[in-house]
Amino acid sequence: MDATGLRDRFGDAATLKAPYDYYAQIRDEEQVFFSKALNAFVVSRFADSEAVLKNTAVFVNTPPTNQATAMAAYTERYFKLYADAGVPHRVPVLAMTDGDLHLRYRELINPRFMPSAIKRMDDALVAVVDGLIDGFIERGADGEGSVDLYREYALLVPLYFFCDTLGVPRTHIQLMQDAGAASIALVTGGLLDEDGRVAAHLKLIEFAKFIQENIKRLRAAPDGSLLSHMIHSETRDGDHLSEQEVISMCATLNTGGNETTTNGLGNTLYAAIKDPQTLQRLTENRELIGKFIEEVMRFDSPIAAATRWASEDTVIGETPVPQGSCVHVRLASGNRDAEKYSHADQFDPGRANVRNHLGFGHGVHYCVGVHLSRSEIRIGLGRLLDRLVDMRIDTSKGPIEYAEAGMVHGLQALPIMFRKRTG
């Protein structure tokens, strides 16, 4: 069913910043509907979302070539931009592939993201986190200080650690951030005009040049980094990734990993700091942190939606979906479904099914970096609790607001005041 008027609010800035009331309206009234703003069918309930994500035969990650909106970001004009710059254009990898091609990429990097491998990174991650905390402690006076925990911490923790893990210098942090934002903008291409698409591709070209330079360096001198691993390791097919594939893998990991963790960490810190009693409980009992993070992933999901395409005529719930249609699985809406969770709109880290959520996706495309993301959020929150006291929202900076975004959900800023822990 086509949504009209106020019903289709996915192009509305206020709705994108605070979507949960709208999600509830969709779940109650239509469950599945066609959004003209997104040019996609929107799936709002947990059961339907889970069913779509599980059914990889019908709902695929590879955009059909005849799907105009899905391919709008990659026309001949944009290919020429890359060719003129001397870098390969991005090709689908990981989340944009299916079947054996998906396994080609996922199996190559899976060993680097297993729990045992992530555990070995803890000390390096603590060093990254502590370095950032040192910076805003030293900037204060008499043991007191202030910081925007989103821009100066949640944003930088995954970016710094990704650079270190990938094996590239931190000198291009802004480029990494800009490339991630450009990738997300192109995924939601209906929200960009022609100039916006060109600008986004130019950012990805800069990123590709940066990775290309580091590929040349690591081909000559392998160093055990993730980028070196992608360059030199054999795939399941017995060959090696092309330069184009490696650059595309880096772009995908940069976007998916950093956006998930930045927004996940930011949303977690906000949930902890805005309530002094919650902050006190977490400080006194660190065993609560794990479930607390999972409830944030459910209640305030950093990834708002996952995109699929219908490979044949099908039905979701009672809604017919034609072949070639784009489907937006609203993960954040499913995570608030009262048919799945009791008191779904209440934040409750003690709920029995706290880990059973869609915050990291579901099925064969479940987030490859989920263990790293959880670790970054856990250590990011834990070290703040170790080193700071009296953390509180700096209300003089105005209300806390979320950014306007269709596929991700995170803060614009998180200004706080604090005191340095002593003794």
Instruction: Give the separation between CA 137 and CA 129, rounded to whole angstroms.
Output: 12
pLDDT in tens, 314-352: 999 999 999 999 999 999 999 999 999 999 999 999 999
Say if residue 3's pLDDT is above 50.
no
The chain-wide mean pLDDT, for the chain, equals 92
pLDDT in tens, 278-323: 999 999 999 999 999 999 999 999 999 999 999 999 999 999 999 9
Q: Which two tokens stand for residue 170?
A: 């931190």
Give the pLDDT of residue 271: 98
**Predicted confidence band of residue 383 (pLDDT cuts 50, 70, 90):** very high
> Nearest Cα to 49, choosing from 336, 273, 246, 325?
336
Give the pLDDT of residue 74: 58
DSSP string, 21-83: HHHHHHHHHTSEEEETTTTEEEE-SHHHHHHHHH-TTTEESSPPTT-HHHHTTS-HHHHHHHH
- Look at 336 and 187; give whichever has higher pLDDT: 336
Say if residue 66's pLDDT is above 80.
no
Give the pLDDT of residue 407: 87
Give the pLDDT of residue 280: 97
> Nearest Cα to 391, choosing from 194, 28, 137, 218?
137
Average pLDDT over residues 102-112: 95
pLDDT in tens, 193-251: 888 889 999 999 999 999 999 999 999 999 999 999 999 999 998 999 999 999 999 99
Q: Residues 200, 74: contact at Cβ < 8 Å?
A: no
β 40-43/326-329 pair status:
parallel
Instruction: Give the separation between CA 3 and CA 35, rounded to whole angstroms.
Output: 6
Give the pLDDT of residue 7: 77
Average pLDDT over residues 104-131: 96
Buried b (16+ CB within 10 A) or exposed e, 313-346: ebebeebebeebbbbbbbbbbbbbbeebbeebee
Say if residue 68's pLDDT is above 60.
no
Give the pLDDT of residue 6: 41
Q: The CATH number of the domain where 69 resides is what?
A: 1.10.630.10
**Predicted confidence band of residue 54 (pLDDT cuts 50, 70, 90):** very high
Give the pLDDT of residue 318: 93
87-101, 217-231, 397-411: which is most confident? 217-231
3-7, 301-305, 404-408: which is most confident? 301-305
pLDDT in tens, 8-37: 999 888 999 999 999 999 999 989 999 998
Give the pLDDT of residue 409: 94
Give the pLDDT of residue 72: 52
State how many domains the chain has.
1
Q: Residue 85 is part of which domain span? A: 5-420
Say if residue 46's pLDDT is above 70.
yes
Average pLDDT over residues 388-392: 98
Say if residue 39's pLDDT is above 80.
yes
- The pTM for the full model equals 0.94
